[in-house]
Chain A
Amino acid sequence: MSIEISQDVCIGCGQCAKSCPGTLIQLDDKGKACISRIERCWGCASCVKECPVQAIAMFLGEDMGGLGGKLTVGRENTLLHWIITKPDGDTQILTVDSRDPNKY
């Protein structure tokens, strides 16, 4: 379980570092986010949701059956747009409104 950070996209706002429950993310010398020990990531996706520019993607490690798909999140007020990029490059978006309770 882990994340990858695109430093080209990162704007250095530091929201991810503030939201990591494992203190794994820092800003490096260039002021860009980086994760120090990716094998320590819990996969909670806090940083993925907090990133305002979708620079952080979550993926499943190969040892847990991951196929290379990625998950990013676009936030729009109370809406979370979960963007799933499948291994073949197709994308699918699931939108969840935080004002809508789960049905299950």
Chain B
Amino acid sequence: MKLQIKALSTDFLIIGGGTAGCYAALTFAEVSGREVLIAEKANIKRSGCLAAGVNAINAYIVPGKTPKDYVDYARKDAEGIVRDDLLRTMAEGLNRTVAKLERLGLTILKDEQGQYVTRGSRNIKINGENIKPILAGAVADQPQITVLNRINVFEYIVKDGRIQGAYAIGVDEPVLYVISAKAILCATGGAAGLYKPNHPGFSRHKMWYPPFNTGAGYAMGIRAGAEMTTFEMRFIALRCKDTIAPTGTLAQGVGAKQINGLGEVYEQKYGITTSQRVHGTVMENLEGRGPCYLRTVGITKEQDEDLQKAYLNMAPSQTLKWLERGQTPRVQNVEIEGTEPYIVGGHTASGYWVDVNRETTIRGLFAAGDVAGGCPQKYVTGAFAEGEIAAKAAVRYMNDKTVMLNMSEAEEKKRWLEGFLDSSEVQHSTDELEETMQAVMDKDAGGIGSHYRFSEESLSIADDKIRKLERQSDFLFASGMQELVYILELRERLTLCRSVIAHLAARKETRWHSFAEHIDYQESSAEWELYVNSRLENGKLNMIFRPLVQEGEKYEH
């Protein structure tokens, strides 16, 4: 199969039409008369994290609280390894984005005085089943925005430290797109599928995070030599067993406590940050007091029915499970388990090392949402706020920029891709290598099977094995474009695995239980109150240690 080269040109290229990407496109079109192009792997109507819907807005400054309160909460949850400047600018934008979504048609619960009804101290109640179609509809109504669905961006074009454009392939059509752009926003989301999942068989994709988010944005940044941060702060979610549905709705909505198999409430014993909740569950199981549950037995009939409906709006598999068994939460406690680790900068601080404009260390390349580091606890509204900040900064950046692409490099890229489509010497399938990668990460880099623990020795073994898989991934065969996308995705995951392993090895302490449980260094230490960053230079991943950006300070590249 041969690829056809198509050249495209735009002012602002947004890679990924999910939460951050769509919001950034809307902002860009409002503040600038220029063109914006969204390149989306699937179709923006339901793509990304919001596909199934969301149950609540989890990042909102409720009456009586300030953005600083939000920053303090996020800093504490991350044990201090956050960027104060990024959290502050994000938190200040949260409520503005909610007002905009309400104008676009999002249903938000209000009291008799017209005030939003809060859930806990940072949340408001919505009906979020259709939040993505609402967002995608607003994008479609905006004539300055062009959306190219079903194209997969896989590499940046960078010259003299400045972004020039990106390469993409069609998911259906045999086309190599060469896109030139004055500025680019990376909004590809984080990475699932690095580790062996809870259900490695038929239901392997029934996971917390979209399995289609493969870490493309991280991998492209790593390969282009961008500085990246805090990959060692993995994210593990505490979820309903089997369905991997959210637990926050049970914990916060009806006040369900975490109990062990003996019926004892154990959450106070370990602490209530996200990583401590996961760690407590692991420990209760390891010490023979499992399985663990959220105690829902005894809730009212009305609560029971409301919960069934609430889950339909975000995780319908949970409602299906309750009803097909005839065991709703009122009569049966909900069993919980930890997921496999993910890399996701919307919850932890992993991702691109950016300045307050969300510009990366590659000039003109911006990052927002799950790919942008230093700023955890973003949730949906934080990703919107970052998209807004990045889009406004991109408008300021792109004045007078012109871009001329070298098409001979595109020819080279085309021949490389065609190699996979024409390959005759094939030893392994893409799925086989993916499964092997997940097994390596599970066993040697702290997955579910090793109770999230790793050692210097196991990480060194993992690194060797991942390098070998990288070499094997040069010799894969794709029978068509979708299969070629799967090869590129596997290679993205392998690139990211290398960086995750290097970061886990570099932080010689255990700052976050389960997220980074280093059995050679089981305590946290004040000397590790710093950022662990990395940059790929001449094929070598160099670690960079930076002092924390303190409260009130602002980092600049």
Contacts and interface: CB of A to CB of B under 8 A. Distances in A.
A63 interface: yes
Interface in B42-62: 42-43, 45-48, 51-52, 55-56
B323 A23 contact: no
Interface string B316-338: 11011101111000000000000
Contact of A100 (B117, B127, B205): B127
B312 A80 contact: yes
Contacts of B52: 42-46
A102 B55 contact: yes
Given A23-B482, A42-B212, A102 B206 contact: no
B203 A61 contact: yes
Interface string A23-47: 1000000000000100111111110
Contacts of B171: 23
A66 B199 CA distance: 12
A98 B127 CA distance: 6
Given A64-B242, A96-B313, A1 B320 contact: no
Contact of B319 (A68, A82, A102): A82
A64 B206 contact: yes
A20 B312 contact: no
Interface in A58-94: 58-69, 71, 80, 82, 84, 86-87, 92, 94
- A50, A60, A64, A92: residue with the most chain B Cβ atoms closer than 10 Å: A64
28 contacts: A2-B202, A19-B43, A21-B43, A23-B41, A23-B150, A36-B482, A40-B205, A43-B203, A43-B206, A46-B46, A48-B316, A50-B46, A60-B317, A63-B201, A65-B321, A69-B320, A84-B319, A87-B324, A94-B308, A101-B117, A102-B126, A102-B127, A102-B249, A103-B310, A104-B249, A104-B254, A104-B306, A104-B307
Interface of B: 41-43, 45-48, 51-52, 55-56, 107-109, 117, 119, 125-130, 150, 171, 199, 201-207, 210-212, 242-243, 249, 252-254, 306-310, 312-313, 316-317, 319-321, 323-326, 482
Interface of A: 1-2, 18-23, 36, 39-46, 48-50, 58-69, 71, 80, 82, 84, 86-87, 92, 94, 96-104
